[in-house]
Amino acid sequence: MDYKITSRSEEDTMELAENIESEKFPGMVICLDGELGSGKTIFVKGFAKSLGLEETITSPTFNIVKEYLNGELPLYHMDVYRIEENDNGVGIEDYFDKDGVTIIEWAELIEDSLPEERLDIKFKIIDEDTRIIKLTPHGQKYEDIVNFVI
């Protein structure tokens, strides 16, 4: 089942991330999709802040993965926009079994590599400030999280 939320500001998007972070667990995978400027990195900033991370969060476009290890749980922030379709050997799947939280921007580009159980979040720009955020949980843990935060 899909769930929709309207975000009317960056603060709303960060609050959603903070609420989801409150239900975090090791091995959690969150997949973000949406056009440029839709709020994906803002979501990650809110999640990271709630983990207690004080580092500046930026999209890891050229690095593919940024690891933040000084919070309540490790945060693995990925941006797979520049990965080629058949780019084996990057090792993204290795992060899914670690004891942290993996958040992937542009996740639809690697859909075949994603774990079955995960939380998909799609951002749609309505206007300068407004976004429709669609949450699609895959698996009971993620269904429970969405039911808690909605």
pTM of this structure? 0.93
pLDDT at res. 87: 52
Confidence check: pLDDT of 19 > 90: yes
Confidence check: pLDDT of 136 > 70: yes
Query: What is 3-149's CATH number, 3.40.1500.10, 3.20.20.110, 3.30.2400.10, 3.40.50.300?
Result: 3.40.50.300
Residue 135, burial from CB neighbour count under 10 angstroms (0-12, 13-18, 19+): buried
Alpha-helical runs (H) found in 22-123: 40-50, 92-95
Least confident of 16-20, 93-97, 128-132, 134-138: 93-97
pLDDT at res. 104: 96
Classified as helix, coil or strand, 92 is helix
DSSP 135: E
Confidence check: pLDDT of 78 > 80: yes
Mean of per-residue pLDDT scores for the chain: 91
Rounded to whole angstroms, the Cα distance separating 23 from 36 reads: 27
Name the residue ranges covered by the structural domains of the chain. 3-149
Rounded to whole angstroms, the Cα distance separating 10 from 15 reads: 9
